[in-house]
Amino acid sequence: MTTSPPPEPRAPQTPAREGATLPRWDSQTLLGAQREALIEHRGEHYRLRLTAAGKLILTK
């Protein structure tokens, strides 16, 4: 019976645009005074919700 060597560890993946600055929005900019906001993406609507614990949840 022969055994094969263990697989080589993978190098960590790097972002497609290494060194590029990603757009950033403050959650208050998206939510305003509300606890929920609708986001449209490719014709679909997603709900961004601020929980009582102060976390964000994005649902379809």
31 SS3 class: helix
Which residues have a Cβ under 8 Å from the Cβ of 24 and sit 6 or more positions away? none
The answer to whether residue 20 is domain-embedded is: no
Residue 37 to residue 28: CA distance in whole angstroms: 10
How many other C-beta atoms can be found within 10 angstroms of the C-beta atom of residue 14? 8
Residue with token string 């019976």:
1
Tokens, residue 47: 């709900």
Q: With 70 as the cut, is the pLDDT of residue 10 above it?
A: no
pLDDT score of 5 more than 80: no
| Residue 32 in domain | yes
Specify the pLDDT at position 20: 81
The CATH number of residue 53's host domain is 2.10.70.10
In a domain, 12, yes or no: no
Per-residue pLDDT of 21-38, as tens digits, reads 999 999 999 999 999 999
Please tell me the total count of domains within the chain: 1
Tell me, yes or no, whether 51 lies in a domain: yes
Q: Which domain range does residue 39 map to?
A: 28-59
In this predicted structure, what is the pLDDT of residue 49? 97
Residue 44, domain member (yes or no): yes
